[in-house]
Structure 1
Amino acid sequence: MKENLTSMGFVVTAEVVKEYKAILYGRYKINPTPCEITGICTMDDGTYVIADYTDLQITRLDGNLAVGDHIKVSGHPFSVCSVGPKEVATFLYGINKIQFISVGQCMELKTEFNVGSSAVGVSYDATQDSLFVCHSNQVSIYTKSGVLLRTYEKNENGDRLFTLARQLALNVSNHSMFVTDENGKLTALSKDGKVIWTFSDSELRRPWGLCVLPGDIILASGIGSNNVLQIDKDGRKIGELLGASEKLAFLYALAFDRKHSRLLIGSSSNEIHVYILSKK
């Protein structure tokens, strides 16, 4: 339509996407010694739950980001997602299981199921009541009881979609999903597994963490480039949100707190880094 209108003499301007800016809100120590914080999720009650890969534990932070209680798990938790008001799910590296944990009055291990092979990211789709799990070269969808529903492995031409799928973020507003691949790509897929677009950029090395902001802007972190890029809904780079000057190392986890417009970052550190986001 834009091309047709232009050929008829109309001036059509591109949609202006406002860039986000980030201001450091604070650094919050969650462990006395260095650890790898590989997952963060926000809960409906204003608390946060994090995956501490190094110490094999899931930790809860209160609304002020102070460490509350924690629970030990039987493998290295590589990610964590909310699956209800009082429950989270995590993938346990080393034993290849999805573990459900109650985060009510106290933290308690609940059910679990085996996924058969190594994975990293786990995300929950409330509309389908299902889990999306990033295996090495595919994304698998499971029921909460562990029944495999389908996999996204190849495109329409029969080529593999992923080399090393790491994290996945869902955009419920347009029924799409985004997957980071450690080979340097970020892929947007429809819910039926069709590729919408693929993004790669020399500024983003070893893409890993993901989250979706209001306005359908995607944030992706690079654990090889130690930065966070902003990408629009059509797969175009908007700019770098956080760069080398922040001195963040191995940015594994990104989580956005919509209520407070906060970006929480988990990395190879003993702290959660929190930024306030606003439009420029």
Structure 2
Amino acid sequence: MLYEDTGGGCRVFKCAVSPAGDRIYVTNCNQHTLLTLAMDGNLIFTFTDTQLQEPWGVHVTNEGQVLVCGSSSNTVIQVDREGRKKLATLLSRKDVRRPLSVCSYDNIDQITVGLDLNNKIIVLERQ
């Protein structure tokens, strides 16, 4: 076991591994945080932001970009590799409602976001 959150409810929810295999990113929806762990399970950093409420989906692109869905903040943000700061807001409340999953397709330069409640999928062109 690398990491365990012993609190109840929706704590550790989704995870993704960096392309280099040296970081694990974990969403904690009750604490509204993105955890960055070393491969030995040690906590490197805890990221919080007002645009990241109830984070669910997390994805790391081949280039190491960390993408996170804030389901109740209705956002998809990009966080730096260390998990310390927000680099960009890719989608906001005007674009999405309840994003739960995110995935990137490098060979076709697209990001796909799955939404709760309306069962829709949004496809964004990467720039």
Distance 1:271 1:242 in 2: 15
Deviations along 1:50-69, one digit per CA (max 9) or x if unpaired, are: xxxxxxxxxxxxxxxxxxxx
Partner of 2:124: 275
Per-residue deviation at 1:187?
0.3
Q: Percent identity?
A: 26
8 A contact 2:77–2:91 mirrored in 1: yes
Residue by residue over 1:97-146, the C-alpha shift from the partner in whole angstroms, topping out at 9 and shown as x without a partner, is xxxxxxxxxxxxxxxxxxxxxxxxxxxxxxxxxxxxxxxxxxxxxxxxxx
Equivalent-residue separation in structure 2 for 1:211 and 1:188 (angstroms): 13
Q: 2-side partners of 1:166 and 1:201: how far apart?
A: 18
Q: Give the alignment's TM-score, normalised by structure 2.
A: 0.86
The one of 127, 139, 152 equivalent to 2:3 is: 152
> In structure 1, how many angstroms separate the alpha carbons of the residues matched to 2:91 and 2:72?
14
Counterpart position of 1:256: 104
Shift of residue 216, structure 1, vs aligned partner: 1.8
* Aligned partners of 2:32 and 2:54 also within 8 Å: yes
| Mapping 1:1-280, distance limit 5 Å | 150-153=1-4, 164-182=11-29, 183-234=31-82, 235-246=84-95, 248-268=96-116, 269-278=118-127
After the TM superposition, list the runs of 4 or more consecutive aligned residues in structure 1 that deviate by more than 3 angstroms: none
Q: How far did 1:175 drift?
A: 2.1
TM-score by length of 1: 0.41
Structure-1 separation of matches of 2:87 and 2:47: 12
Give 1:166 deviation, angstroms. Answer: 1.3
Asked if the contact 2:19/2:60 (under 8 Å) is kept, the reply is no
What is the alpha-carbon distance in structure 2 between the residues aligned to residue 208 and residue 270 of structure 1? Answer: 16
Q: Which has the higher strand share?
A: 1
Structure 2 spans left out of the alignment, 5+ residues = none
Counterparts of 1:273 and 1:178, CA distance in 2: 23
Output the CA distance in 2 between the equivalents of 1:255 and 1:197.
23
Which secondary structure does the structure 1 equivalent of 2:107 belong to? coil
- Between the aligned partners of 2:21 and 2:36, the Cα distance in structure 1 is 11
Task: Tell me the C-alpha RMSD between the 2 structures.
Answer: 2.0
Give the distance between the partners of 1:172 and 1:266, measured in 2 at CA: 22
1:263 to partner: Cα distance: 0.7
Distance in 1 separating the partners of 2:13 and 2:36:
14
Question: Does the aligned pair in 1 maintain the 2:33–2:47 contact within 8 Å?
Answer: yes
SS of 2:94 mapped into structure 1: helix
> Counterpart of 2:70 in structure 1: which amino acid?
G
Q: Tell me: CA distance 1:176–1:259, structure 2 relative to 1, closer, same or farther (3 Å).
A: same
